[in-house]
A and B are shown apart, each in its own frame.
Chain A
Amino acid sequence: MQWDIVIGLEIHVQLATQTKIFSGSSTAYGAEPNTQANAVDLAMPGTLPVPNEQAFRYAIMFGLAVNAEIERRSVFERKNYFYPDLPKGYQTTQLERPIVGPGHVDIDLANGQTKRVRIHHAHLEEDAGKSLHEDFHGMTGVDLNRAGTPLIEVVTEPDMSNAEEAVAFAKKLHSLVTSLGICDGDMSQGSMRFDVNISLKPKGSDTLGTRTETKNLNSFRFMEQAIAHEVERQMDILEDGGVIVQETRLYNGDRDESRSMRTKEEANDYRYFPCPDLLPVEIDDAFIEHARSRLPELPDARKARFKEQYSLNDYDAGLLSGDAKLSAFFEEAVSHGKDAKLTANWIQGEFSARLNAEEKTVAESPITGAQLGDLIVRIADNTVSSSGAKKVFETLWNGESDNVDAIIDAQGLKQVSDTGELEKMVDEVLAGMPDQVAQYQGEDDPKKRKKMLGGFMGPLMKASKGQGNPKLFNEILVKKLGG
């Protein structure tokens, strides 16, 4: 049987505010346990929450970026459930009147098409603390530094129909919130966490199947794997004549397996009600316009500009415009290096490869955009060959020097492009290889001739101490050997 896959996402985005959503405690990551958990965060009796203006501004910036309506009179609700890392016994969240109403995001697919994913809404809420289940004499340790960190939970409509689309959406959202500067986007620190709702229905059917929710995926790769895993699990059950149980599941990415966390019957009754500690928040035009004035260039607009301004193709422009920091690096490099295509190639090649190999982000790169730009200038004007350029790049990366021209001089990487000098070297080398020259001239197959040409390059590079311009050597060789 053929199945349609239906996927909806809920994404928790930690907002990059200095302080918590309802208290003046710092949200800095990595502090000693419980040193950033004050009386409000600990739910001490008699404390009252006061909402953080910046959390609202960031949520509204997100809403504007996804073409959503902003709720002018936003209300907080209490979602009641018991867990030790939730000191109040409820999460302060939004249900009836979330700050961000319906909107949409367009995603680019590998086949070149664009797909629109609708946003149902996005609401403001507080994060919980962390429970540590290592053995504390049979007890659980609780760190409440994260409790009260502002989040927006973005809820999509079930508009995605495979893992590729879901991951493309997740990456687009990551690119959006980091470009907006409202989230640091660091997935390894839990700054973005994904819940995936999945159901299957017979191909072409209008009736949705029973869905499951796989919670707390914290990387694009795990998300893709978890979707593949869950689709297969549901397909196996349905094709054996079974029924899908509506449930919440946990996925273990290291083992590629999932288990049920709770079923609908065991589900919490959250007993939502409006939070009496918080008055409705009224958002006026001035506040919204101020948020709008702070919107930076967004990835879609940046991609269009890269194509226009730098004549990049769709693929290059898409890759370079998605991440705000990478975009800035590219533009800094191009402002020095001029040749946009060559810059794009180096960023996607050598630069990305080194970042990946050392698991570094663009911000942690030891070389600057300006330095890469200076190197591009020397590649474009033939001062260094591409192999020489790699040595320069290596030296920059290792921090041994920060000046491209100084490195080229110090390591003798300057190419010899004086044709008179090169011709002399070719004459000398050919004079010393009469057999190979005769063999070449006796060969009719152009493919074989081309290959044989390579046999002269080694000795030529040696004769020039690696400094001869290979492209010019090649031209001279072909001319001297008679085509």
Chain B
Amino acid sequence: MTISREDIEKVAVLARIRVDDEQVSALENDLGNILDLVDQLSAADTDAVEPLAHPLDAVQRLRPDEVTETNQREAFQAIAPATENGLYLVPRVIE
């Protein structure tokens, strides 16, 4: 399986990663190799195998519905690049 330049550019947009032309060529090769590996895996016959949701053979523990967390806003906001009136500030995004 091959991956096109367009595919790489689209994935880069979705992942919000800026890649230049040179990197796209390198990624074309690297990601192509990874997809070849996946193709090899896909060749295995899995018709009789139940899809695996998790590699561990265990079930999830659930938690009682009780408040255990306290307000630690000050500590979290101390490491944030920008805050105001208790809000985290981020570059403007409007969808």
Contacts and interface: CB of A to CB of B under 8 A. Distances in A.
Nearest to A279: B60
Given A34-B88, A274-B53, A279-B54, A53 B93 contact: no
B18 to A, nearest CB: 14
Interface residues of B, number: 39
Contacts of A56: 62
B93 A84 contact: yes
Interface of B: 10, 14-16, 51, 53-56, 58-69, 71-73, 76-77, 82, 84-95
A33 interface: yes
A17 B93 CA distance: 31
Nearest to A278: B60
A109 interface: no
B95 A261 contact: yes
Contact of B92 (A24, A80, A139, A279): A139
Contacts of A55: 65
A132 B94 contact: no
B86 A136 contact: no
A131 B85 contact: no
Interface stretch (A35-43, A154-162, A388-396): A35-43
B65 A144 contact: no
20 contacts: A17-B65, A19-B67, A19-B68, A24-B68, A26-B67, A33-B86, A50-B63, A53-B62, A54-B65, A80-B14, A136-B89, A144-B88, A261-B95, A269-B14, A271-B14, A279-B54, A279-B56, A279-B58, A280-B59, A281-B59
A469 interface: no
A281 B86 contact: no
Interface string A334-357: 000000000000000000000000
Nearest to B16: A82
Contacts of A81: 14
- How extensive is the interface on chain A, given as a class? 35 or more
Listed from nearest, the 3 A-B pairs whose CB atoms lie closest are A24-B68, A141-B87, A54-B65
B69 A138 contact: no
A83 interface: yes
B86 A280 contact: no
A419 interface: no
Given A50-B63, A136-B87, A274-B53, 11 more contacts: A17-B65, A19-B69, A26-B69, A33-B86, A34-B76, A38-B69, A54-B64, A133-B92, A137-B89, A279-B58, A279-B59
Interface string A120-136: 00000000000111001
A143 interface: yes
A75 interface: yes
Nearest to A129: B88
A132 B67 contact: no
Given A24-B69, A133-B94, A268-B14, A141 B84 contact: yes
Given A279-B54, A280-B59, A35 B86 contact: yes
Given A19-B67, A34-B73, A143 B87 contact: yes
Contacts of B10: 269
Nearest to A41: B69
A131 B92 CA distance: 10
B3 to A, nearest CB: 14
Contacts of A38: 69, 72
Contact of A34 (B61, B68, B77): B77
